[in-house]
Amino acid sequence: MTWFSRPKRYTKLGRTQPPEAEPPKKKDIPEGVMTKCPSCGQLLYTKNLEENNNSVCYLCDYHFRIDARRRLALLVDAGSFVETDAGLVSADPLRFLDYARKVEATRRKTGLADAVICGVGEIRGRRAVVSVSDFNFMGGSMGSVVGEKVTRALEHALEAKLPAVSVSAGGGGARMHEGMLSLMQMAKTSAAAGRLKEAGIPFISIFTDPTMGGVAASYASLGDVLIAEPGAMIGFAGPRVIEQTIHRRLPEGFQRAEFLLEHGMLDMICHRSELKDTVAELLDLLWYARAALAAARAEAAKLRPRNDDVIHLPKPAAGG
């Protein structure tokens, strides 16, 4: 029993009373733990998304952009990739406003020298020259370094007689900070892809979201097989620029991978989880199975009987 009791104080909430009470504090979620899917709007557990689902939304299949290193890890066999031309860095020939500082800051942030990683690796045991661009490095745009590295990779494929695979994510197209030097990379990389074609060495090009401008309009579109990830945006000028130029509304899904496949601009759309197997199969079909067949035929030819052992058969009728 209590001897004294205090009268309870009630707070009357009048209509005019300003809201004094703070809203109940939500438990703060540390940054990076959850990722919002831009397609279905659901909150996804980042660790689960990245480690178990290759950064593809497990509810709606939206393919998130991934950096070049993670892309390489998904595409090439562990412990097989050797990088080439890693130290190549671009000059600042135009002394473009803020360019040098921007590149330096991006370099520090991404740990990349420029927007592409090139090298030789194995895809399910099939050796190939691989180049992978990174959207995080100035939008994956092609300056003189990207152009030079991709060209050298294609030339290396030609010399070593290895198939080439490129993964592009060059949303910015040609890098405007390097002016004409960037534009020249379109011709240079295209010429290298052309030489590879003449030599009959396969080149598989994979488009990821987004591949636009000078990257889409040069080497990326010159592969023997053009593959895109679902929903990837691929094109030259952006849709807004086109609409303003032609004064018309663009059709639904314009410049998306599915639209381009329907209109014959792509050979296939491949889910990220099936990409490595698909590329390995294509490398077999276009190169390794062919080489194996030729070697088997050469072996079989060695077993051909001597002429005097051959019995003479009647000539078959024409067409037989």
- Nearer to Zn ion among residue 62 and residue 287 (C-beta): 62
Q: Provide φ and ψ at 99, rounded to 5°.
A: -65, -50
Q: Tell the smallest beta-carbon distance from residue 262 to Zn ion (Å).
A: 23
Q: Provide φ and ψ at 225, rounded to 5°.
A: -125, 125
Reduce the DSSP state of residue 211 to 3 states and report it.
Answer: strand
Hey, what are 127's tokens?
A: 């050796």
Q: Which residues contact 243 (CB under 8 A, 6 or more apart)?
A: 249, 250
- Nearer to Zn ion among residue 111 and residue 253 (C-beta): 253
Q: Tell the smallest beta-carbon distance from residue 62 to Zn ion (Å).
A: 4
Q: Tell the smallest beta-carbon distance from residue 229 to Zn ion (Å).
A: 14
Q: Provide φ and ψ at 132, rounded to 5°.
A: -130, 125
Distance CA 303, CA 67 (A): 52
Place of tokens 């996804």: 44
Give a three-class secondary structure readout of 180-216: HHHHHHHHHHHHHHHHHHHCCCCEEEEECCCECHHHH
Interacting residues toward Zn ion by CB under 5 A = 37, 39-40, 57, 59-60, 62
- Nearer to Zn ion among residue 59 and residue 294 (C-beta): 59
Q: Tell the smallest beta-carbon distance from residue 32 to Zn ion (Å).
A: 18
* Burial class, 206, CB count within 10 angstroms (exposed 0-12 / middle 13-18 / buried 19+): buried
Q: Tell the smallest beta-carbon distance from residue 18 to Zn ion (Å).
A: 40
Hey, what are 106's tokens?
A: 């991006």
- Nearer to Zn ion among residue 62 and residue 288 (C-beta): 62
- Nearer to Zn ion among residue 40 and residue 296 (C-beta): 40
Look at strands 43-45 and 82-84 and give their pairing: unpaired
Distance CA 318, CA 320 (A): 5
Q: Tell the smallest beta-carbon distance from residue 278 to Zn ion (Å).
A: 23
- Nearer to Zn ion among residue 148 and residue 209 (C-beta): 209
